[in-house]
Protein backbone atom coordinates (compact mmCIF):
# COMPACT_ATOMS: atom_id res chain seq x y z
CA UNK A 1 0.00 0.00 0.00
CA UNK A 2 1.09 3.59 -0.39
CA UNK A 3 0.58 6.98 1.20
CA UNK A 4 1.47 8.69 -2.08
CA UNK A 5 -1.18 10.04 -4.42
CA UNK A 6 -2.07 7.40 -6.97
CA UNK A 7 -3.29 7.41 -10.56
CA UNK A 8 -4.40 4.94 -13.21
CA UNK A 9 -4.16 5.96 -16.87
CA UNK A 10 -5.68 3.66 -19.49
CA UNK A 11 -4.20 3.28 -22.96
CA UNK A 12 -0.94 4.54 -21.51
CA UNK A 13 1.84 2.85 -23.46
CA UNK A 14 2.10 5.61 -26.08
CA UNK A 15 0.81 8.96 -27.28
CA UNK A 16 -1.37 11.11 -25.06
CA UNK A 17 -1.77 8.39 -22.41
CA UNK A 18 1.98 8.01 -22.05
CA UNK A 19 2.43 11.77 -21.74
CA UNK A 20 -0.34 12.04 -19.13
CA UNK A 21 1.33 9.23 -17.18
CA UNK A 22 4.69 10.98 -17.37
CA UNK A 23 3.21 14.27 -16.24
CA UNK A 24 1.27 12.70 -13.37
CA UNK A 25 4.39 10.87 -12.21
CA UNK A 26 6.35 14.13 -12.41
CA UNK A 27 3.68 15.66 -10.13
CA UNK A 28 4.60 13.04 -7.52
CA UNK A 29 1.89 10.46 -8.21
CA UNK A 30 2.47 6.73 -8.21
CA UNK A 31 1.07 5.87 -11.63
CA UNK A 32 -0.21 2.59 -13.05
CA UNK A 33 -0.09 2.42 -16.84
CA UNK A 34 -3.11 0.46 -18.01
CA UNK A 35 -2.03 -1.28 -21.21
CA UNK A 36 -3.62 -3.94 -23.39
CA UNK A 37 -0.27 -4.81 -25.00
CA UNK A 38 1.94 -6.01 -22.14
CA UNK A 39 5.17 -5.87 -24.13
CA UNK A 40 4.64 -2.26 -25.19
CA UNK A 41 3.43 -1.40 -21.72
CA UNK A 42 6.55 -2.85 -20.13
CA UNK A 43 8.71 -0.79 -22.50
CA UNK A 44 6.80 2.37 -21.59
CA UNK A 45 7.18 1.66 -17.87
CA UNK A 46 10.89 1.04 -18.30
CA UNK A 47 11.31 4.37 -20.09
CA UNK A 48 9.56 6.26 -17.30
CA UNK A 49 11.39 4.40 -14.55
CA UNK A 50 14.69 5.24 -16.22
CA UNK A 51 13.65 8.88 -15.82
CA UNK A 52 13.14 8.31 -12.09
CA UNK A 53 9.35 8.01 -12.02
CA UNK A 54 7.29 5.75 -9.74
CA UNK A 55 5.28 3.88 -12.38
CA UNK A 56 3.87 0.36 -12.71
CA UNK A 57 2.36 -1.80 -15.43
CA UNK A 58 -1.25 -2.96 -15.21
CA UNK A 59 -2.47 -5.29 -17.95
CA UNK A 60 -5.84 -3.87 -18.94
CA UNK A 61 -8.13 -4.18 -21.95
CA UNK A 62 -10.95 -1.72 -21.37
CA UNK A 63 -13.13 -3.54 -23.93
CA UNK A 64 -13.19 -6.70 -21.79
CA UNK A 65 -15.26 -7.13 -18.64
CA UNK A 66 -12.97 -9.92 -17.43
CA UNK A 67 -9.79 -7.94 -18.08
CA UNK A 68 -11.08 -4.90 -16.23
CA UNK A 69 -12.17 -7.00 -13.26
CA UNK A 70 -8.76 -8.73 -13.08
CA UNK A 71 -6.88 -5.45 -13.44
CA UNK A 72 -8.77 -3.65 -10.68
CA UNK A 73 -8.44 -6.67 -8.41
CA UNK A 74 -4.67 -6.60 -9.01
CA UNK A 75 -4.55 -2.84 -8.47
CA UNK A 76 -6.42 -3.26 -5.18
CA UNK A 77 -3.61 -5.53 -3.98
CA UNK A 78 -1.13 -2.71 -4.57
CA UNK A 79 -3.01 0.32 -3.28
CA UNK A 80 -5.98 0.92 -1.01
CA UNK A 81 -7.03 4.13 -2.79
CA UNK A 82 -7.03 5.77 -6.20
CA UNK A 83 -6.78 9.54 -6.42
CA UNK A 84 -7.00 9.91 -10.18
CA UNK A 85 -8.43 7.79 -12.98
CA UNK A 86 -7.80 8.97 -16.53
CA UNK A 87 -9.91 7.08 -19.07
CA UNK A 88 -7.66 7.71 -22.06
CA UNK A 89 -7.86 4.46 -24.05
CA UNK A 90 -9.56 5.03 -27.38
CA UNK A 91 -10.20 3.44 -30.75
CA UNK A 92 -10.36 5.55 -33.90
CA UNK A 93 -11.59 3.47 -36.84
CA UNK A 94 -14.34 3.76 -39.43
CA UNK A 95 -13.32 7.17 -40.78
CA UNK A 96 -13.33 5.82 -44.34
CA UNK A 97 -17.07 5.12 -44.25
CA UNK A 98 -20.08 7.34 -44.79
CA UNK A 99 -22.54 7.24 -41.87
CA UNK A 100 -24.93 5.65 -44.36
CA UNK A 101 -22.80 2.50 -44.74
CA UNK A 102 -20.46 2.19 -41.75
CA UNK A 103 -20.68 -1.47 -40.67
CA UNK A 104 -22.42 -2.18 -37.39
CA UNK A 105 -19.45 -4.34 -36.38
CA UNK A 106 -17.12 -1.37 -36.72
CA UNK A 107 -19.42 0.84 -34.67
CA UNK A 108 -19.72 -1.80 -31.95
CA UNK A 109 -15.94 -2.14 -31.72
CA UNK A 110 -15.56 1.63 -31.31
CA UNK A 111 -18.24 1.77 -28.62
CA UNK A 112 -16.71 -1.12 -26.67
CA UNK A 113 -13.53 0.90 -26.19
CA UNK A 114 -14.60 4.54 -26.30
CA UNK A 115 -17.95 4.35 -24.54
CA UNK A 116 -18.36 1.15 -22.56
CA UNK A 117 -14.68 1.05 -21.62
CA UNK A 118 -14.76 4.17 -19.44
CA UNK A 119 -17.96 2.93 -17.79
CA UNK A 120 -16.40 -0.47 -17.03
CA UNK A 121 -13.24 0.97 -15.57
CA UNK A 122 -14.89 3.75 -13.58
CA UNK A 123 -17.49 1.45 -12.04
CA UNK A 124 -14.89 -1.19 -11.21
CA UNK A 125 -12.55 1.39 -9.65
CA UNK A 126 -15.28 3.03 -7.59
CA UNK A 127 -14.30 1.47 -4.24
CA UNK A 128 -10.71 2.68 -4.67
CA UNK A 129 -11.90 6.13 -5.72
CA UNK A 130 -14.23 6.40 -2.74
CA UNK A 131 -11.26 5.64 -0.48
CA UNK A 132 -9.41 8.73 -1.75
CA UNK A 133 -9.63 12.07 0.03
CA UNK A 134 -9.96 13.89 -3.30
CA UNK A 135 -10.83 11.49 -6.14
CA UNK A 136 -10.79 12.72 -9.74
CA UNK A 137 -11.89 11.03 -12.97
CA UNK A 138 -11.06 12.35 -16.44
CA UNK A 139 -12.70 11.17 -19.67
CA UNK A 140 -10.71 11.71 -22.87
CA UNK A 141 -13.42 12.86 -25.23
CA UNK A 142 -13.21 14.85 -28.47
CA UNK A 143 -14.78 17.92 -30.03
CA UNK A 144 -16.08 15.46 -32.62
CA UNK A 145 -18.48 14.38 -29.88
CA UNK A 146 -19.95 17.86 -29.49
CA UNK A 147 -23.40 18.16 -31.06
CA UNK A 148 -22.97 21.93 -31.03
CA UNK A 149 -19.77 21.65 -33.07
CA UNK A 150 -21.29 19.08 -35.43
CA UNK A 151 -24.01 21.55 -36.41
CA UNK A 152 -21.72 24.59 -36.73
CA UNK A 153 -20.57 25.11 -40.35
CA UNK A 154 -17.76 27.35 -39.06
CA UNK A 155 -16.29 24.60 -36.90
CA UNK A 156 -13.06 23.11 -38.27
CA UNK A 157 -14.44 19.59 -37.86
CA UNK A 158 -17.88 20.23 -39.39
CA UNK A 159 -17.13 17.95 -42.37
CA UNK A 160 -15.73 15.13 -40.21
CA UNK A 161 -18.99 13.20 -40.05
CA UNK A 162 -18.07 9.76 -38.70
CA UNK A 163 -21.01 7.84 -37.31
CA UNK A 164 -19.33 5.44 -34.90
CA UNK A 165 -16.42 7.48 -33.57
CA UNK A 166 -18.23 10.81 -33.23
CA UNK A 167 -21.31 9.34 -31.58
CA UNK A 168 -19.16 7.24 -29.23
CA UNK A 169 -17.70 10.48 -27.89
CA UNK A 170 -21.12 12.15 -27.75
CA UNK A 171 -22.28 9.22 -25.62
CA UNK A 172 -19.15 9.53 -23.49
CA UNK A 173 -20.00 13.17 -22.83
CA UNK A 174 -23.46 12.17 -21.62
CA UNK A 175 -21.89 9.43 -19.49
CA UNK A 176 -19.54 12.00 -17.96
CA UNK A 177 -22.48 14.11 -16.82
CA UNK A 178 -24.47 11.15 -15.52
CA UNK A 179 -21.57 9.65 -13.56
CA UNK A 180 -20.50 13.05 -12.23
CA UNK A 181 -23.97 13.69 -10.81
CA UNK A 182 -24.12 10.26 -9.20
CA UNK A 183 -20.56 10.46 -7.82
CA UNK A 184 -20.79 13.98 -6.40
CA UNK A 185 -22.00 12.86 -2.94
CA UNK A 186 -18.75 10.88 -2.59
CA UNK A 187 -16.59 13.88 -3.44
CA UNK A 188 -15.63 12.42 -6.83
CA UNK A 189 -15.17 15.02 -9.57
CA UNK A 190 -15.63 13.73 -13.14
CA UNK A 191 -14.91 15.83 -16.22
CA UNK A 192 -14.41 15.36 -19.96
CA UNK A 193 -11.55 16.82 -21.96
CA UNK A 194 -10.96 17.42 -25.65
CA UNK A 195 -7.22 16.93 -26.31
CA UNK A 196 -7.54 18.51 -29.75
CA UNK A 197 -6.22 17.28 -33.09
CA UNK A 198 -3.01 15.74 -31.85
CA UNK A 199 -0.10 14.10 -33.68
CA UNK A 200 -0.44 10.47 -32.56
CA UNK A 201 -0.70 7.05 -34.17
CA UNK A 202 -4.49 7.41 -34.18
CA UNK A 203 -4.26 10.47 -36.46
CA UNK A 204 -1.34 9.08 -38.50
CA UNK A 205 0.59 11.95 -36.88
CA UNK A 206 -1.37 14.44 -38.98
CA UNK A 207 -2.53 16.46 -35.97
CA UNK A 208 -1.17 19.94 -35.33
CA UNK A 209 -1.07 19.65 -31.51
CA UNK A 210 1.69 17.95 -29.53
CA UNK A 211 1.03 15.28 -26.92
CA UNK A 212 2.26 17.81 -24.36
CA UNK A 213 -0.46 20.24 -25.36
CA UNK A 214 -3.04 17.46 -25.45
CA UNK A 215 -2.14 16.19 -21.98
CA UNK A 216 -2.18 19.60 -20.29
CA UNK A 217 -5.91 19.86 -19.57
CA UNK A 218 -6.26 16.20 -18.65
CA UNK A 219 -3.54 16.53 -16.02
CA UNK A 220 -5.10 19.73 -14.69
CA UNK A 221 -8.48 18.02 -14.31
CA UNK A 222 -6.90 14.93 -12.73
CA UNK A 223 -5.25 17.09 -10.06
CA UNK A 224 -8.10 19.52 -9.38
CA UNK A 225 -8.40 21.19 -6.01
CA UNK A 226 -11.56 21.12 -3.92
CA UNK A 227 -13.02 24.18 -5.67
CA UNK A 228 -12.59 22.68 -9.13
CA UNK A 229 -15.51 21.87 -11.45
CA UNK A 230 -17.31 18.61 -12.10
CA UNK A 231 -19.53 17.48 -15.00
CA UNK A 232 -17.63 19.83 -17.35
CA UNK A 233 -16.24 19.59 -20.88
CA UNK A 234 -12.96 21.40 -21.44
CA UNK A 235 -10.21 22.14 -23.95
CA UNK A 236 -7.23 24.13 -22.72
CA UNK A 237 -8.78 27.02 -20.75
CA UNK A 238 -12.09 26.94 -22.65
CA UNK A 239 -15.35 25.29 -21.64
CA UNK A 240 -16.86 23.52 -24.63
CA UNK A 241 -20.53 23.28 -25.55
CA UNK A 242 -21.90 19.74 -25.32
Active site residues: 165
CA 224 to the chain's CA centroid: 16
Task: Using alpha carbons, list the distances in angstroms from residue 67 to 36, 59, 64, 121, 175.
Answer: 9, 8, 5, 10, 21
Rounded to 5 degrees, what are φ and ψ at 156? -65, -20
* Strands across the sheet containing 189-193: 55-59, 30-35, 6-10, 84-87, 136-140, 189-193, 233-235, 238-239
Q: How far apart are CA 220 and CA 207, in angstroms?
A: 22
Rg over CA atoms, the chain: 17
CA 7 to the chain's CA centroid: 12
Burial of 241 (0-12, 13-18, 19+ CB in 10 A): exposed
Q: How far apart are CA 110 and CA 124, in angstroms?
A: 20
Rounded to 5 degrees, what are φ and ψ at 58? -130, 110
Q: How far apart are CA 241 and CA 206, in angstroms?
A: 25
Amino acid sequence: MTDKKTALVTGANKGIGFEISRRMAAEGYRVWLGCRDVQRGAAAVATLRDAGHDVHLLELDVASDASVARAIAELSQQTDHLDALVNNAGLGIGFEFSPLDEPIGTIKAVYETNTFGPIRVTQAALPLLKASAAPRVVMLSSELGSLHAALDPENEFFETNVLGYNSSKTALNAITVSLAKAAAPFGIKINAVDPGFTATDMTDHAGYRTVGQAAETAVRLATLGSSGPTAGYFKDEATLAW
